[in-house]
Amino acid sequence: MKKDWKRLWQGAAVVLAMGAAAGAAQAQNADGIALRDVSVVDTRTGDIAEARTILLRMGRIEAVQDGAAAIDPSYRIIEGAGRFVVPGYNDMHVHVLSGDADAVTDHDHSGGDETGDSAKLDLLLANGVTGFRQMSGSAEVIAAARALNEAIASGALVAPEALQVTGDIYLGQAPTPEAARGFVAAQMAAGSDFLKVVGGPREGVLAALTEAEALGFDVAGHLPTALSTADAIDAGWDVFEHLGATPGIMLDCARAGEPIRARMTQAANGPVTLPPTFLLNPLLYTGARLAPALTGLVGSFDPDMCAAVATRFVAHDVWQVPTLIRLRTMSRGGDAAYRTDANLRFLHPKTRALWEQMGEQFDTELSPETKAAVTAMYDLQTRVVANMHDAGVKMMAGSDVGGIWLIPGFSLHQEFAELEQAGLSPLSILQMTTFNVGAFLGRPDTVGVVAPGFDADLVVLDANPLESAANMASIAGVFTNGTYLDAADLEAMKSAISSAYGG
């Protein structure tokens, strides 16, 4: 059967008809697919079962059997000798959906980020990402995410699943307790999967947390400066992103943390005007002002205080999505390695030019002292991630695609490398992007394990992922919802995007 890359996304007035590359994936096969003679990695235990055949039908794993067992002749056989199979990767912190209909029909435009939504989704998939958590939203983005998943389920679209999507982010725009409670109820009514909090006055944030807890609505995001980690967790916080951002929970890991928090909270009072590019790299704009505080936190770091924070995380079943690669690219915003990354060819030229301009600003406008301060903070944050992991804090992998130097899919593999550099084992990293996600979503029987009954979202690797996190990038093929994309298909997807952007 000839493969056809014409993709259709219908719903919420969104239509996608994109010819990404000739020779793309065969749709789900009702007669089944057999991936023969592979080594299956058990993400629950780290065991590897060699010479196995995985049978897939209609988007599910039907069986995992001995490689020597007979295969029904109706199955399409894919040979996998010498290869390893793991569940599809999940990037649990991205910004890839704009909610703009034009963004999914045109590779040349997507709101504030010129790189289109469809290109971002393709790049995720080409890097083994079969599911993602959308961390910025609106009513339009929620509708787009639902339409995306409906199109995937119907077989009309080959793309990663939107696992969760948020609505409007709470930034303190509803500052009184009454207004904050109304804001939370409105987001839940709009269909948001969780409430994202980034900032706001203490009374408003606490009211929002209390209301979310009462409604059974999860809360994720950055730690508002006016709250301690203990305040937030005790009020019902569920997931911290980027260690609560910079400085985030690090304020509760240092002896100087409380007076620094008091000064920062006082300075945060009143309206703030931010440039449109602020979110690409906040440290470009705040690094000089934050540098003394970051130096104070690093110099007064207290491992016992941080251990107490980790203990509270574990006791209250609070999750962490560290996004170390996001923290690193922020703190090293002018790094030549990022500015010369060959994968920049997968971005729209306007996006590349803007990032280069901001990288140059980082190099020339931030003092050596500021750069040293933000770098030292990142180094400490990597240490804290490793300590929290060792203490039993539940974690998932995310890249924060949407920030500077973060290229969809590729940045998740960079996150794997940062986590390994921090001291986490390859198995732990693999679990953070697969098995842990199933537990977090309440889908432990369908997501994150290669076993009968689980979703047919798989990555086929040329090297053992338990030997090195780098091997998680040795992708020979991807199954998503039962559709198989071989190495040539994945390369064609990437080439089509690079060519569209003149790369």
Query: What pLDDT sits at residue 272?
Result: 59
DSSP structure class, residue 253: S
Q: pLDDT of 396-406, one tens digit each?
A: 999 999 999 99
The 10s digit of each residue's pLDDT in 427-468 is 999 999 999 999 999 999 999 999 999 999 999 999 999 999
Whether the pLDDT of residue 175 is over 70: the answer is: yes
The one-letter amino acid at 22: A
DSSP label at residue 183:
H
Strands across the sheet containing 129-134:
89-94, 129-134, 161-165
Residue type, 260: I
Residues 325-343 have a mean pLDDT of 97
Q: 6-162+443-500 and 163-441: same fold? A: no
Assign 266 a pLDDT band (cuts: 50, 70, 90). Answer: confident
The domain locations on the chain are 6-162+443-500, 163-441
pTM of the model: 0.93
Q: Of the CATH numbers 1.10.287, 3.20.20, 3.30.43, 3.40.50, which one belongs to the domain with range 163-441?
A: 3.20.20
The total of other beta-carbon atoms located within 10 Å of residue 114's CB is 20
Report cis status (omega within 30 of 0) of the bond before 177.
Answer: no
Taking the CB of residue 278, how many other CB atoms lie within 10 A of it? 13
Kindly report the number of other CB atoms within 10 A of residue 406's CB atom: 24
Beta strand 129-134 with 483-486: parallel, antiparallel or unpaired?
unpaired
Residue whose structure tokens are 């996304």: 9
To the question of domain 6-162+443-500 being in CATH 2.30.40.10, the answer is yes
Confidence of residue 267 (pLDDT cuts 50, 70, 90): confident
pLDDT for the residue numbered 355: 98
> What CA–CA distance (Å, rounded) separates 417 from 108?
31
